[in-house]
Amino acid sequence: MTKLTHFDEAGRAAMVDVSAKAETSRTATARGRVVMAPATLALIQAGQVGKGDVLGVARLAGIMAAKKTSDLIPLCHPLLISKVTVDLTPVAPDSVEIEATVKLTGQTGVEMEALTAVTVAALTVYDMVKAADRAMRIEDVRLVHKSGGKSGTYEAI
């Protein structure tokens, strides 16, 4: 089994020391979706949600969340992110697909930032249309690509 890196010799939670790691170009992409009633998706697509542009607000929320990941996840390093993209795509009849990609040149990866961006974008979609559909589900949030660093490239199957 792979040794877990977020524990010290005594088994206590600890931030990983990345000071000896080389700076490399690192990228991570995560995906997820919000499943809803077809009528809810129709409201979003027609721009008839009283709170505003659901997909635009969720995109911005995802970008902001990626930048704040170290404030949310206790052992994540604060990072100088160079790029974040968050794409939200309505998929008939009943979902919004979300994909986030985060990039930087640094000493540690950006997987958590990509996953946080997708999750917060999904939560924002839920928040903006919950009055119309409280039964929405956030599903299948996962890492689909990671490159850079000592462990190399990961591609989800």
Distance of CA 53 to the CA centre of its chain: 20
Q: Which of 53, 127, 133, 140 is catalytic?
A: 127
Q: Which of 98, 96, 90, 99 is nearest to 27 (CA)?
A: 99
SS3 state of residue 60? helix
Active site residue 127: yes
SS3 state of residue 58? helix
List residues with catalytic annotation: 127
